[in-house]
Amino acid sequence: MRWLAVILFSGSLVNAQEQISVSNAASMLAAGTTAAGSLVLIGLNPQAGGPFTIDPPPFFDPGTWTFSGSGGAGSPQSIGVLPFLVPLTLPPEIMATNFNALQTINRQTGLVVMWDPTGFGEQDVLTSTLSGSTVPGGPKTGQTAVICNVPATSGQLAIPAAMLQNLAPSALVAVGGAYMELSVARRQGHAQTFSLPLPEGSSVPAVLQFVSFETWPVAIQ
């Protein structure tokens, strides 16, 4: 099982050079150089004791962080910006609380996915993806996926058996087999926006988005 948490920064045609970081009272994490209109990704994909463990600590503690940059000079392809400092409130990272019950998916009974909703807000959306091979002889071939979106504050998601019938039975395979993924992000159109200051006194819009994932292989019966 793998966890991944990322902070995405998008500033169209902005050059903020290399001194971009996110920090809280306990730690500071540095990001790489941004190119014009690109994204900065800050995150971790840890494995503790193997791919099927459930005990790595969160990488980003929920609460208040600061996203900052030292600014950068402009170029023919990008706009130079002044130093900036932006508060960023992060929700918890997603983790299934009934993980052991989600190792084998029974297509005849359906499944319930559970997580701790504490700390999520009304704009946070959980997406559950169950992906596997399509049942042979069905109307579709190749891979198929069951994708559901619910408010992250709900704490659970029920997927009825009828939605699982196009998934072919399969054994648990660590790589390349059926898998389940949970992710949480703010709903579309509700990412945090802010203004990057420009040397001449104006500003340009920018966006911050936090997304966390949990992915693991499953068997399907």
Which of these ranges, 23-32, 96-105, 107-116, has the smallest mean pLDDT? 23-32
Q: How many CB atoms lie within 10 A of CB 183?
A: 18
- Torsions phi, psi of 13, nearest 5? 60, 35
Within 8 A by CB and 6+ apart from 129, the residues are 145, 146, 147, 180, 181, 182, 183
> Please, what is the average pLDDT of the chain?
79
Query: Using CA atoms, how far apart are residues 70 and 74, in angstroms rounded to an integer?
Result: 13
Within 8 A by CB and 6+ apart from 209, the residues are 7, 8, 10, 185, 186, 191, 192
Q: How many domains does the chain have?
A: 1
Residue 196 near residue 77, CB atoms below 8 Å: no
For residue 14, pLDDT beyond 50:
yes
Which of these ranges, 105-114, 128-137, 149-158, 200-209, has the smallest mean pLDDT? 200-209
pLDDT digits 0-9 by tens, 123-177: 999 999 999 998 876 555 678 999 999 999 999 999 999 999 999 999 988 788 9
Q: How confident is the model at residue 198 (pLDDT cuts 50, 70, 90)?
A: confident
- Both tokens of 171, joined, read 């054994």
pTM, two decimals, is 0.80
Residue range of the domain that includes 156: 2-220
Query: Which pLDDT score is estimated for 2?
Result: 65
pLDDT digits 0-9 by tens, 168-189: 999 988 788 999 999 999 998 8
